[in-house]
Structures are given as C-alpha cells and as structure tokens.
Amino acid sequence: MAAIVCIVAIILFLVFFPKRKNGGVKKADKLKDKYHQSLLGTSRRIALETGRAYYKALRGKDKALSLHDEQAIANDVSRMQTPP
C-alpha cells in the first residue's frame, strides 16, 4: 500500500512540476525581461507588442488577453519616457 502511495506521489510531482527547458528559464521569464527592457526604450509600438507577448505567455497560448491585461500594458506604456 505504501508503495502505491509513493508511486502516485511521484507521478503527481512530475505532472505538476515538470522539468524546465533551456536551463530552467521559462519562455515567460524571457519575455518579461524583454518587455521591461522595451519599456525603458522609446518605441511604444515595440513595448506594446512585447507586453502582449509576455501576458499571452502567462495566460497560455490558447487564451486571449483580458481587459485587465490590456489595461496593465497600456498603463506601463503610458509611463514611458517620450523621445526629445
């Protein structure tokens, strides 16, 4: 009985905590860094695109961005420095 419980626990662990690819760096982590870097730049278009890509990676590839996501991106982009 204990062996069955142990096997089930191992399977659940592997299902809920899969090994990450690329040395442990998730796609969302890379996109988050790219998004924050784009917010430091001057191109609002690039910041908007990378922000949408980042939030889409957080939500999953089949899910659309929510109004909250779009508003958060718009708030971030509105705080960008304008070029002189």
Average pLDDT over residues 21-25: 52
Which residues, in sequence order, are CB contacts of 80 under 8 Å at separation 6+? 39, 41, 42, 44, 47
Nearest to 37 by CA among 28, 46, 25: 46
| Domain spans of the chain, in order of start | 20-78
In whole angstroms, give the CA distance from residue 16 to residue 10.
Answer: 10
The pLDDT tens digits of the residues spanning 41-61 come to 999 999 999 999 999 988 877
Q: Is the pLDDT higher at 13 or at 55? A: 55
Q: What share of the chain is helix, strand, coil (3-state, %, to 5)?
A: 70, 0, 30
